[in-house]
Amino acid sequence: MDLTGKVIAIMQPRSGTSARTGNPWMSQEYVIEVPGQYPRKMLFNIFGEDRIKQFNIQAGEEITVQFDIDAREYNGRWFNDIRAYNIIRGQIAQTVPQATPPFTPQQNAAPQDAATAPFPPAQEPAGEGAADDLPF
């Protein structure tokens, strides 16, 4: 999934050592705000010190976050995990649909031919009983 927005918060990195493998790990969380009539915010994380350094996310910059959503259970409760796997700068992906202008019928519009008309021409009923051809 992709989401484009402005980075509004960068949390402190968390790190530790894996109890299972003994290897060190690092994770950092970020918040982006998606513009629109009702701006939305999303918290996502990046796992791995090498990826954190590679992406080098700065507050205030516009980015597109490519991410996966997963859920995990801990002590009988479920938690969502939004983990980014790629950050794109520059070419901003379109995530918020643009508003289309309202339909304004033209007055005194010239008739259109059947190929360019927005709706097919109305058809007259074929015979007796054809006026109500609905199955219910």
Instruction: Spell out the per-residue pLDDT of the chain, length 136, in tens.
Output: 999 999 999 999 999 998 899 999 999 999 999 999 999 999 999 999 999 999 999 999 999 999 999 999 999 999 999 999 999 997 544 444 444 455 555 545 555 555 566 666 666 656 555 566 666 6
Which pair of tokens denotes residue 33?
């705000």
- CB burial of 78-114 (b: ≥16 within 10 Å; e: otherwise) equals eeeebebeebeeeeeeebeeeeeeeeeeeeeeeeeee
Residues 60 and 6 sit within 8 Å (Cβ to Cβ): yes
d(CA 41, CA 51): 22
